[in-house]
Amino acid sequence: MTAPTTTDTGPGGVAAEEAERAPSRRSIVLARMWQLRMGVLGAALLLVLVAAAVFAPYIATHDPYEQDIFNRLTEPAFLADDADGHLLGTDQLGRDLFSRVIYGARISLMIGVLAVAVSMVIGVALGLLAGYLGGWVDAVVDFSVNAMLAFPFILLAMTLVIVLGASMENIILALGLSGWPIFARVTRIETMKLRDQEFVLAAVAQGLGRARILFKHILANLAAPVLVIGTVEIARAIIRETFLSFLGLGIQPPTPSWGLMLAEGRDYMLTVWWLSTLPGFAIFLAALGINLVGDALRDLFDPRMRKG
């Protein structure tokens, strides 16, 4: 008679068996990254653009303001065997296009981030007050949001630029004042949902002040949706700044701006196509990277949006 085989059912054996069954931490991380693979791609694109903006003085091969009329409209290195040291060629004034695109990333990202910061501060503050206090405060904020959404953005921008002058500060102000309604609307709706939750009612019963309840209990739970909206709005602010600069209402020459480079190259589109195409491609990559990161953050913070 053969002896029955025994298995180790002690605590150590059970733990070892469960450890073999459970996926490793590394596999979980890799699986999550695969689910958010487009977000990882967007983060990589965004990281490259941020690095280019931060280290522009070290990456740029020429002074972006230096003119060389004798070497104007030279072809990029990938089209000509001899690009005379200009990787992406030169513009109509002989300025190095690669250096101007690199410095343009600094301008666009700075304007996008600061404009969204202005919108976020205004919109979140008004949305918190409207959603928590209700009454006439809610009515005024709701009317203001609807009025701003009905007011054409270009008219507001043109008015501010004409009155205040075309400068980076005024562009940030125009974009910030036109972008706050989306933050106010989302914050207001979410605050109205949270104000009746048990943890908020408990804070009220404890006698905590309104400011502490709003910032410590409600705003802390709004960080995720506000962050997602802010990320996507940065891409929209960059495109709007490009639009204004293209119309001559934004960044003024000779400051390197992607929108301004688009405007300067439109007269040469049929012959020197790269003057507008390369800055336009940079705008496309920036907007694509930021939007992919925003979608990934939405999927990460909202379990209902997760796939697979």
Residue 118 main-chain phi, psi, to 5 deg: -65, -45
Query: Taking residues 66-90, what's their average pLDDT?
Result: 78
How many other CB atoms are there within 10 angstroms of residue 105's CB atom? 25
Exposed, middle or buried: residue 1 (CB in 10 Å: 0-12, 13-18, 19+)?
exposed
Query: Given this model, what pLDDT does residue 34 score?
Result: 57
Query: Taking residues 301-306, what's their average pLDDT?
Result: 55
Query: Given this model, what pLDDT does residue 102 score?
Result: 92
Q: Which residue has the higher pLDDT, 8 or 133?
A: 133
Query: Given this model, what pLDDT does residue 87 score?
Result: 82
**Average pLDDT in the chain:** 80
Query: Given this model, what pLDDT does residue 30 score?
Result: 55
Beta carbons within 8 Å of 159's beta carbon, 6+ residues apart = none
What's the fold here for domain 110-252+260-305?
MetI-like fold (1.10.3720)
Domain boundaries, the chain: 110-252+260-305
- Predicted confidence band of residue 307 (pLDDT cuts 50, 70, 90): very low
- Predicted confidence band of residue 153 (pLDDT cuts 50, 70, 90): confident
pLDDT tens column, 248-299 = 777 888 888 888 888 888 888 888 888 888 898 999 999 998 888 888 887 7
Query: Taking residues 215-240, what's their average pLDDT?
Result: 85
pLDDT tens column, 40-63 = 888 898 899 899 989 988 998 888
- Predicted confidence band of residue 1 (pLDDT cuts 50, 70, 90): very low
- Predicted confidence band of residue 6 (pLDDT cuts 50, 70, 90): very low
